[in-house]
């Protein structure tokens, strides 16, 4: 099996609740979680409404959703201490895998005051043996 793109999450963290932002993003995106952690920090994670086949398309969908936010939601987004596009990959036994993000997209992410991170999902069991691919990839 080759390494492949899984999805991109939009992850937020804030010292204060961001209910309006969550409500608006929930209509524009697929909410995975919005909650208050035991340390008092509010956090949320969203996926693009229609999962695309690339990080570029998913991040572009999130940026379009951000453009539709009200002033109140934008203010709450600005108060978030973490605004991160987390790109995930299923890692099988590929020698190397390259992801290209166009300069214009990277600039748009930077202009939105967000960051980009990468999560690798190793396709191995805790004992190091390969996982069985039950869904085709």
Residues of the chain above pLDDT 70, percent? 94
Query: What DSSP state is assigned to residue 132?
Result: P
For 91-127, write each residue's pLDDT tens digit.
Answer: 877 778 889 999 999 999 999 999 999 999 887 777 7
Nearest by Cα to 11 from 122, 89, 114: 114
Report how far residue 43's alpha carbon sits from residue 54's, in angstroms, rounded to the nearest whole number: 25
Q: What is the reported pTM?
A: 0.87
Going from N- to C-terminal start, the domains of the chain cover 4-122
Report how far residue 112's alpha carbon sits from residue 118's, in angstroms, rounded to the nearest whole number: 18
Determine the average pLDDT of the residues in 54-82: 96
- The radius of gyration computed from the CA coordinates of the chain, to the nearest angstrom, equals 16
Decide: helix, strand or coil at residue 23.
helix
């Amino acid at each position: 099996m080759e390494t492949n793109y899984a999805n991109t999450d939009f992850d937020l963290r804030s010292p204060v609740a961001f209910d309006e932002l969550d409500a608006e993003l929930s209509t524009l995106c697929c909410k995975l979680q919005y909650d208050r952690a035991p340390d008092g920090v509010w956090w949320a994670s969203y996926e693009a409404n229609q999962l695309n086949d690339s990080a570029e398309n998913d991040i572009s969908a999130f940026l379009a959703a951000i453009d539709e936010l009200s002033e109140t939601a934008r203010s709450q987004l600005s108060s978030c201490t973490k605004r991160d596009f987390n790109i995930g990959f299923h890692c099988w036994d590929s020698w190397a895998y390259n992801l290209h993000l166009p300069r214009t997209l990277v600039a748009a992410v930077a202009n939105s005051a967000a960051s980009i991170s990468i999560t690798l999902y190793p396709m191995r069991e805790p004992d190091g043996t390969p996982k069985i691919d039950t869904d085709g990839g």
